Amino acid sequence: MVNNTSSTQRKLTLEDRLLQRLPFAAQIDALDQRVTAWMARYGLVMMRIALGVIFFWFGALKLFPGLSPAEDLVRNTIFFIDPNIFQPLLAVWEMAIGLGLITGMFMRVTLLLLFLQMPGTALPIIITPEAVFTMFPFGLTIEGQYIVKNLALITAAIVLGSTVRGGRIVPQP
pLDDT (mean) for 38-54: 97
- Which residues are within 8 A (CB) of 33 and not within 5 positions of it... i.e. 6 or more apart? 171, 172
CA pair distance 58, 147, nearest whole angstrom: 13
Domain range list for the chain = 46-161
Instruction: Look at residue 1 in the predicted model and tell me its pLDDT.
Output: 46
- pLDDT of residue 2 exceeding 50: no
7 pLDDT band, cuts 50/70/90, is low
- pLDDT of residue 5 exceeding 60: no
125 pLDDT band, cuts 50/70/90, is very high
Q: Which residues of 74-111 are buried (b: 16+ CB within 10 A; e: fewer)?
A: beebbeeeebeebbeebbebbbbbbbbbbeeeebeebb
- pLDDT of residue 36 exceeding 90: yes
